[in-house]
Amino acid sequence: MWEHIYQAIDELYEKMVETRRHLHQYPEASFNEEKTAQFIVNTYKKLGIPYESHVGGNGVIAKLEGGKPGKTVALRADFDALPIQEENDVPYRSKNEGVMHACGHDGHTAALLGLAEAIIPHKEELPGTIIFLHQHAEEYAPGGAKPIVESGALTNVDAVFGTHLWVNAPTGVIQTAKGPFMAGADRFEIKIQGKGGHGAQPHQTKDAIVIASQLVSSLQQIVSRRVDPLRTAVLSVGTFESGTTFNIIADSAKLTGTVRTFDPEVQNLIIEEMEKVIKGACTGYDAEYEFLYEKGYPPVVNHPEEAELVLQNANKADASLTTEEIEPVMAGEDFAYYLLDKPGAFYFTGAQIPDHYYPHHHPKFDFDETALPHAAKTLFQSYISYQEKQGI
């Protein structure tokens, strides 16, 4: 029934690529996406679709009312970039020093804008209302999703769907889970204050590097020895900063890292155990410490019925697509806030380049642009499937 919509999306493939590459060349980091937001606004102006800007910050929301009765469904794409220096040698390489679209958000935006352009000539055929939800600041907590929800922008929305171009899956594969899908993502910082001194007189010091090194090892044992092995968790130390030169014992050290969980009880257990381990190590060396723990995005927990709609109907959008129900992944996403507020589902759209595989957030990250229509089509199919589920 909607083949003409999917054909229109295919016909806009080159334009979606052009949009993606333009955005890729001019990335803006989280909370600084003014020009990107304006580009999105200008597109909706040209399409004649009503919009609202500065939603919850730099967010942009456009609203397309169909000609037939139905539910209101939000389709989300994020558009911020990362503070990474790009290392790809491509014509569309980032022109903004130290900033790069290293996660695919440029593609998310291009796909949603392409979908809007594809369906605008057919709006009278559509049931209900589509909300094109362009979100800023996904990469950096507190993120953009929470303030968008708090703004009331989703008050009249019945369901929300979103996708992430995913280089860990082959192009043509759609992946999701019915229930927990992505982990809650927290951040911690540990500052150790010891007593520095000469490298030849360690007995007169409180060696911050020794204390911090012990902590790196001990913190790993929290998950392996304190958390029930049937309950998933990850604790990773990401940075270790200390010292000034080879023959001076450092008086201070700083560790930062992340904790990933699905269960609030496990999250709280880890926080308590971290405090014990840090206090114990520092007490033993008569050193002082500061422990900062920032609870980040909650877990992405899909609503089972909406996730099932994605799994069962994605290939209606494109016969070449296959679907997989996968185990949860430990990456985090602030799409979680939408799912705490409304029914919906988040899913991965495979976009792997076989001979150029670099993970998300890598300086050489890139994705298969032929996945752009897949993202646009499956978002539209999710909206249609939800309407059909309601008997519309």
Residues 10-34: tens digit of each pLDDT: 999 999 999 999 999 999 999 999 9
Q: Does 282 belong to an annotated binding site?
A: no
| Cα distance between residue 167 and residue 146, in whole Å | 26
- Which residue in the list 80, 207, 333, 369 is annotated as catalytic? 80
Tokens describing residue 380: 């539209």
- Which residue in the list 86, 117, 138, 207 is annotated as catalytic? 138
The span from the first CA to the last CA of the chain, in angstroms, equals 14
pLDDT above 90 for 173: yes
| Cα distance between residue 152 and residue 117, in whole Å | 26
Active site residue 324: no
Same domain, 287 and 328: no
Same domain, 73 and 175: yes
Q: Does 374 belong to an annotated binding site?
A: no
Same domain, 254 and 224: yes
* pLDDT at residue 56, rounded to an integer: 98
Q: Where are the alpha helices (DSSP H) in 120-228?
A: 145-150, 208-226
Residue whose entry in the numeric block shows the structure tokens 């919906």:
344
* pLDDT at residue 90, rounded to an integer: 97
Q: Does 134 belong to an annotated binding site?
A: no
- pLDDT band for position 392 (50/70/90)? confident
- Of 297, 317, 347, the residue that ends a domain is 297
pLDDT above 90 for 362: yes
Summarised one tens digit per residue, pLDDT across range 47-60 is 999 999 999 999 99
What is the arithmetic mean of pLDDT over 79-107? 98
CATH number at residue 62: 3.40.630.10
- Of 254, 269, 297, the residue that ends a domain is 297
CA-based torsion, 88, 94, 97, 101: positive or negative? negative
CATH number at residue 262: 3.30.70.360
Same domain, 212 and 288: yes
Same domain, 150 and 160: yes
Active site residue 138: yes
Same domain, 250 and 152: no
Same domain, 354 and 282: no
How many domains does the chain contain in total? 2
Phi, psi of 42 (to 5 degrees): -60, -35
Summarised one tens digit per residue, pLDDT across range 314-352 is 999 999 999 999 999 999 999 999 999 999 999 999 999
Contact status, residue 306 vs residue 343, Cβ threshold 8 Å:
yes
Same domain, 158 and 221: no
- Of 269, 297, 325, the residue that ends a domain is 297
Contact status, residue 371 vs residue 350, Cβ threshold 8 Å:
yes
Same domain, 7 and 135: yes
Contact status, residue 162 vs residue 173, Cβ threshold 8 Å:
no
| Cα distance between residue 89 and residue 106, in whole Å | 17
Helix (H, G, I), strand (E, B) or coil at 188: strand
Same domain, 201 and 342: no
> What residue numbers bound the domain in which 32 lies?
3-183+299-389
Phi, psi of 296 (to 5 degrees): -95, -135
Same domain, 214 and 290: yes
pLDDT above 90 for 96: yes
Q: Does 103 belong to an annotated binding site?
A: yes
Provide, rounded to the nearest whole percent, the portion of the chain with pLDDT above 90.
99
Same domain, 328 and 364: yes
